Structure 1
Amino acid sequence: MKANKVVSSVKDEELIKKRRDQMIRGALALFKEKGFHRTTTREIAKEAGFSIGTLYEYIRTKEDVLFLVCDSIHEEVKKRLEAVVNLKQPSMEKLRTVITSFFYLMDDMQEEILILYQEVKSLRKETRGYVLQKEQEMAEMLETAISTCLPHQLSKQEVALLANNILIQGHMWSFRRWMLHKEFTVDDYIAIQLRFTFNAMGISLDDRNGGTRNGTGNTI
């Protein structure tokens, strides 16, 4: 199920996008504060700046709103990650930049990532499958960066596992933040995770340059 397949009684595609963008922003603010189940469609409409009647011209159910929110989060991650995954001149420095940028992106989007982990289970099987496929696309982008930039070859299984490890390490900064934020700055966290990741790939990483914003000079 794609976002443009969510049923709307309005035929103007430009207006649908405008209203749904308003809806997504309003829903995100409420989901961060109250969670999906404790938020009503009336509250979403009010936060978005229009009536409950107008809301139901663009969606059928509250679950449609959650689906649009989840899809929007993944699209934002994809867009911002694609901006740094330029592998025309692959190198280990480029791979470090990609991974570091991904971690900073996860820091910027902590609340959104938490919503994904907490609420995706509330979607129907069909829509949940679509959202989870988006997650797989993120892993595949990281797989491409690893296999392209590494100076030596790893097996397909090893590359896939490394990519998923990186994905979860980024997400962990959000869903384990109640503990991690007490122990680490984001720069500390990234530096250590980079060292672990590169060690797993058989690469020795200079700790002095790995994992700080100033050290890479590239963040999303």
Structure 2
Amino acid sequence: MDYESFSKSWDGHVLELIDVSAKKVHAIDKKHKQIVEGACKVFFQKGYHPTSIREISEAAGMSMGQLYHYISSKDDVLFLMHRHMQTTWYKYLTENLHEDPDDPVQTLTDALRLTTDFHTTNKKLIQFVYSESKYLSKQHLKVVLQMDDKNVVQFWRDLLIAVQRKTGLDIDINACANILVFTNVFMPLRGWNLKDRPANEYKKQLLQFVLRGIGIPAPS
């Protein structure tokens, strides 16, 4: 899936769940990104609950009236942050991952390395989204979990299927894909307890651990 299709996969859900009075879809998407970028500034500093809608509007450079053209609540912003995390990750991959259909193991290895780099660089975003997801409404959470499976887990399923076809590896594709999603966020969620050595050493160790767990010889 190309980045544009990946990003658009969220559009119907956004329009269904968020009460938007603006009419132009392109403008809505642009404003939602502006709102999320502003929200990140205050959420990362103050947390979800202490942050007010007014502080989000100020950080986004929008009036309260403008803001309410594109969202109806702070919960909507949290939902949009999940989309932002997912689409930003995928854009980073499409810009940096060079898929080799003849060497799916190398493609998988590169995708794992790039994802770990992305999650480490965007540590605050990952930490915030994972810790604050509990505040999503049931309806918003249902869509977030659905899109996580459709886009993120499916990305790893597809890579693992290619590896299996090439190598004959005997693995549970769905279980391994979900394990990959979880282990990829290890550094931002547990890195606080790993400060005795450079982060790159732990990234390398994590990559070796994951590949060997799947049954693939890890790079030295």
1:153 corresponding residue in structure 2: 169
Measure how far apart 1:105 and its partner are: 1.3
RMSD across aligned positions (CA): 2.0
1:100 corresponding residue in structure 2: 113
**Closer/same/farther in 2, CA of residues 200 and 123 from structure 1, 3 Å limit:** same
Tell me, in whole angstroms, the C-alpha distance in 2 between the residues paired with 1:161 and 1:65: 31
**Closer/same/farther in 2, CA of residues 79 and 154 from structure 1, 3 Å limit:** farther
Q: Is residue 189 of structure 2 the alignment partner of residue 175 of structure 1? A: yes
Tell me, in whole angstroms, the C-alpha distance in 2 between the residues paired with 1:203 and 1:15: 45
Tell me, in whole angstroms, the C-alpha distance in 1 between the residues paired with 2:106 and 2:84: 30
**Closer/same/farther in 2, CA of residues 105 and 16 from structure 1, 3 Å limit:** same
Tell me, in whole angstroms, the C-alpha distance in 2 between the residues paired with 1:143 and 1:128: 22
Deviations 1:45-67 (A, max 9, x none): 01111211221122111111111
**Closer/same/farther in 2, CA of residues 206 and 7 from structure 1, 3 Å limit:** closer
- Deviating beyond 6 angstroms after TM superposition, the runs of 4 or more aligned structure 1 residues are none
Tell me, in whole angstroms, the C-alpha distance in 2 between the residues paired with 1:116 and 1:55: 21
Percent of residue pairs identical: 25
Tell me, in whole angstroms, the C-alpha distance in 1 between the residues paired with 2:71 and 2:106: 45
Q: Is residue 32 of structure 2 the alignment partner of residue 16 of structure 1? A: no
Tell me, in whole angstroms, the C-alpha distance in 2 between the residues paired with 1:198 and 1:65: 36
- 1:3 corresponds, among 8, 14, 24, to 14
**Closer/same/farther in 2, CA of residues 85 and 160 from structure 1, 3 Å limit:** farther
Kindly tell me the number of residue pairs found equivalent between the two proteins. Answer: 204
Tell me, in whole angstroms, the C-alpha distance in 1 between the residues paired with 2:153 and 2:202: 20
TM-score between the two structures when normalised by the length of structure 1: 0.84
- Structure 1 segment 52-201 matched on structure 2, within 5 A: 52-83=64-95, 84=97, 86-136=99-149, 137-150=151-164, 151-155=167-171, 158-180=172-194, 182-201=195-214
Measure how far apart 1:87 and its partner are: 5.0
**Structure 1, unpaired ranges of 5+:** 208-220
Which amino acid letter does the alignment assign opposite residue 177 of structure 2?
Answer: A
Deviations 1:150-182 (A, max 9, x none): 412324xx22222222222221211122212x1
- 1:38 corresponds, among 41, 44, 50, to 50
Counting helix residues as a fraction of each chain, which structure ranks higher?
Answer: 2
TM-score between the two structures when normalised by the length of structure 2: 0.84
Deviations 1:122-164 (A, max 9, x none): 1111111111222223122112212212412324xx2222222
